[in-house]
Structure 1
Amino acid sequence: MEGLSVSDANLVVYVHPSRSKNVSQAILRELSSLLFKFNETFDGVVLAYAVNALDKHARILSGVHPYFCVRLKANLLLFSPKPNMLLEGKVVKLMRESIHVIVLGFSSAVIVDEDIRDEFRYKSKRGEGKYVSRVHKRHTIKVGTIIRFLVKSLDEEILHISGSLIPDHTGSVGWLDGDVKNSTTESNKKRKQPDGEIEVQELGIASGDTHSANNDRGIKKKKKRRNAEEH
């Protein structure tokens, strides 16, 4: 999935004097406060972090409440969805007008009906709706389906994504990656191959029998003619 990247960052953490007895814990708390929020500095959402190196020499900042300035190096896992990127998410709600998706378990996305290509047709049975492809009947989208969609825009404040299923390379991940298509093709081959062999064998036997039967009839007719001429 696009939109995920790892960044090597040089960070500066300011620690309150009251936490000077456990600086490492204070740093982890500060880094944890960055998680699952859009950060303009990194131009993305911080999903995880790992501290690689910690500067043992802290600098005290002057002021009414002097803070410790600690420098460190960390690896950050960032989620930075941009327009025209391909994302994957799980369908949690599906209606005729829209498809609602959760991406990476925390970011919501919506695909409205005008951004769903005409190939898909909405069907509802016993209160459960789903989108079914007019071209490939086994290509379906319903609640619980993992889909791949195109990013149109991102609301950075609420981490809400507007998506699209217009391109042909979007839809159910299971179908696009060939799981359904391969299983269908293999099952068809298994059904067709024996039937084909049987048909060929049956035709061969039938044609052989017909040929031999015609020969037998011809021989019998010739014998009858000879017998009639002799008499």
Structure 2
Amino acid sequence: MDGLKVSDANLVVYIHPSKANRVPQALRGELSSLLFKFNEAFDGVVLVYDILAQSESAKVLPGLSPYFGVKVKAKLLLFSPKPDMLLEGKVMKLRKESIHVIVLGFSYATIAEEDIRGEFRYKIKHGEEVFASSLHKRHVIKVGSMIRFLIKSSRGQKQPSAR
């Protein structure tokens, strides 16, 4: 799937002095706090991390609470959708004016009515909301369908576009 990339990262992780005797656990805790949130520095959502190496020395930061910085090399799996990328997701909800999709089980996308291909018409068939194709009678989009769509924009600027 487009939008997934592996990145090698050289990080400095700041650890509280109370965790000085448990540095590996503290590193995992700090890196785990990055998971499934958009991170500007990585320009994406961190899905998985693997710590490859950590420095044996640390630099103490002066101040009231002297945190210390540990250098870490890690491999990150990032989800970073960009315009014109093709993504696949599961339809979670249909409305006359939109299709709501979940991608990779955590990222939500909305496809607005004006971005749905012209051949699809909103209908209620047997009490179920669907977008049915006027060209292919068996081609329907309903809750639970897997669809592919083209990203129009990301991070809440505009909605994705289905093509």
On whether the aligned pair clears a TM of 0.5, the verdict is yes
Amino acid at match of 1:138: R
In the TM superposition, residue 124 of structure 1 has moved relative to its aligned partner by: 0.7
**How large is the RMSD of aligned CA atoms in angstroms?**
1.5
In the TM superposition, residue 12 of structure 1 has moved relative to its aligned partner by: 0.4
1:169-208 matched pairs, under 5 angstroms: none
| C-alpha distance in 2 between matches for 1:144 and 1:72 | 41
**Residue matched to 1:172:** none
Contact 2:101 2:108 in 1 (8 A): yes
| C-alpha distance in 2 between matches for 1:113 and 1:39 | 30
Give per-residue Cα distances to partners, 1:58-96, cap 9 Å, x unaligned.
222222221121001001111111111111111000122
Identity percentage of aligned residues? 64
**TM-score, length-scaled by structure 1:** 0.67
| C-alpha distance in 2 between matches for 1:36 and 1:104 | 11
| C-alpha distance in 1 between matches for 2:7 and 2:42 | 9
| C-alpha distance in 1 between matches for 2:33 and 2:151 | 27
| C-alpha distance in 1 between matches for 2:48 and 2:61 | 28
**TM-score, length-scaled by structure 2:** 0.93
**Residue matched to 1:162:** 159
**Residue matched to 1:137:** 137
Amino acid at match of 1:118: G
Amino acid at match of 2:123: K
**Residue matched to 2:33:** 33
Alignment gaps of 5+ in structure 1: 168-231
**Residue matched to 1:84:** 84
Instruction: Give the number of equivalent residue pairs.
Output: 163
Alignment gaps of 5+ in structure 2: none
1:21-170 matched pairs, under 5 angstroms: 21-155=21-155, 162-165=159-162, 167=163
Query: Of Structure 1 and Structure 2, which has the larger fraction of its residues in strand?
Result: 2
| C-alpha distance in 2 between matches for 1:46 and 1:105 | 14
Query: Of Structure 1 and Structure 2, which has the larger fraction of its residues in helix?
Result: 1
| C-alpha distance in 1 between matches for 2:95 and 2:12 | 47
Give per-residue Cα distances to partners, 1:151-191, cap 9 Å, x unaligned.
112235xxx872112x3xxxxxxxxxxxxxxxxxxxxxxxx
**Consecutive aligned runs of 4 or more in structure 1 exceeding 3 Å deviation:** none
| C-alpha distance in 2 between matches for 1:116 and 1:64 | 56
